[in-house]
Amino acid sequence: MADLGWWGVPIGVLGGAVRVSTPFLFVSLGECITEKSGRINLGLEGILVMGAMSGYAVSYLSGDPWLGVLAAGAAGLALGVLHGLVCNLPRVNDIAVGIGLMLFGTGLAFFLGKAFVQPKAPILPAIALGGWSGSPQVRAALQVNPLLVIGVVLALGLAWAFRNTRWGLVVRMIGDSSDAARAMGYGVLRVRMLSTAVGGFLAGVGGSFLSLYYPGSWSEGLSSGQGLMAVALVIFARWNPLHCFYAALLFGGASAVGPALQSVGITWGYYLFNAAPYLVTLGIMIATCSPRHTLAGAPGELSINR
């Protein structure tokens, strides 16, 4: 293989963006739906880990990775329903429930996943988009996994659906003004619970990507805050599904900066470079938030904006 030298860094970052962005994409799309309906689900970290574990477990037990993806979604759906139900109770703070779900989901995943740390489960196939390139590195960087393709289609679909379908309108109305929605006869609590459930389903699928594609193995150190970063991502993307896709690519690339730099010889401060995604997230949040006016596009009912 030809020595890429410094070109290795951007190619590595691009590869990382393609590889690592998928869980961010799915989780943020799911959270987008949830937040558009006026609820914030911080428990996505727990749902992500639970999805990763159940996806791996079912793929191992059934031999079919796609069944694993479905199971991961189902697990996410169940946890999303739990979040929705508890939040529907009066006087319960959705941020607190999210934190609780984060701890509960992670604990449950570690508990049930103990038996699946060792075995090797079948993983998802990849689609080679880089066949045109003679360089194996570019080809490897452009090895796209099918979930990313599904995610992009989903992002486009959601963007269209929020604008043009009745359900999109209902969700947005409930997120902007629950009084108006109630006046029109829509069950606010029911819609919010459904949005959280769907959000959980997508987050679970995003988690299955980690265990069924990249890194492609279940272990307890799989996620390190990706779920929470995805929530920040949604705010950064101004609740627009398409922007979620771009932001996910950005975050994925930031995660790959550390190792890419090391492989061209920059070894100083690898801890700091490895913290790049967190720094990027924080920086973006600082730059885009403002205490005075609510952010353009923010659902009015969202508790973090009030």
Q: Is 235 a residue that touches another protein (CB under 8 A)? A: yes
| Cβ contact 25:244 at 8 Å | yes
Q: Within 32-51, which residues bind another protein (CB under 8 A)?
A: 42
How many whole angstroms separate alpha carbon 167 and alpha carbon 169?
5
- Of residues 136 and 187, the one with the C-beta less far from another protein: 136
- Smallest CA-to-CA distance from 87 within 9, 200, 165, 186 is with 200
Q: Out of 63, 64, 114, 128, name the contact with another protein by CB under 8 A.
A: 114
- 130 belongs to the binding site for another protein (CB under 8 A): no
User: Given the rule CB under 8 A, which of 62-70, 153-161, 179-187, 216-224 is the region that contacts another protein?
Assistant: 216-224
Interface of this chain with another protein, residues 76 to 95, rule: CB under 8 A: 82, 86, 89-93, 95
6 sits near another protein (criterion: CB under 8 A): no
- Footprint on residues 172-211 left by another protein (CB under 8 A): 210
Contacts of 128 (CB under 8 A, 6+ apart): 139, 142, 143, 144
Phi, psi (5° rounding) for residue 273? Answer: -65, -35
Least CB distance to another protein at residue 257 (A): 9
Q: Does 168 bind another protein (CB under 8 A)?
A: no
Q: Which of residues 132-161 bind another protein (CB under 8 A)?
A: 137, 140-141
Q: List residues bridging with 127 in a β-sheet.
A: 144
Token output for 131 = 């066949």
Cβ at position 199, least distance to another protein in Å: 16
231 contacts another protein (rule: CB under 8 A) = yes
Q: State the nearest-atom distance from the C-beta of 170 to another protein, in Å.
A: 26
60-79 binders of another protein (CB under 8 A): none
Residue list 245-264, contact with another protein (CB under 8 A): 255-256, 258-260, 262-264
Nearer to another protein, 116 or 170 (CB): 116
- Shortest distance, CB of residue 255 to another protein, whole angstroms? 7
CB 203 within 8 A of CB 223: no
Applying CB under 8 A, does 240 fall inside the site for another protein? no
Instruction: Determine if the peptide bond prior to 215 is cis (ω within 30°).
Output: yes
**Separation CA 240–CA 153 (nearest Å):** 14
Cβ within 8 Å of residue 6, ≥6 positions away: 264
Q: Which is nearer to another protein, 92 or 169 (CB)?
A: 92
Q: With 0-12 CB in 10 A as exposed, 13-18 as middle and 19+ as buried, what is 192?
A: buried
Is residue 121 within the footprint of another protein (CB under 8 A)?
no
Contact yes or no for 23/228 (Cβ under 8 A): no
Question: Which range binds another protein by CB under 8 A, 25-33, 64-72, 179-187, 288-296?
Answer: 288-296
SS3 225: coil
Q: What angle do CA 42, 39, 247 make, to 5 degrees?
A: 60
Residue of 78, 81, 104, 168 interacting with another protein (CB under 8 A): 104
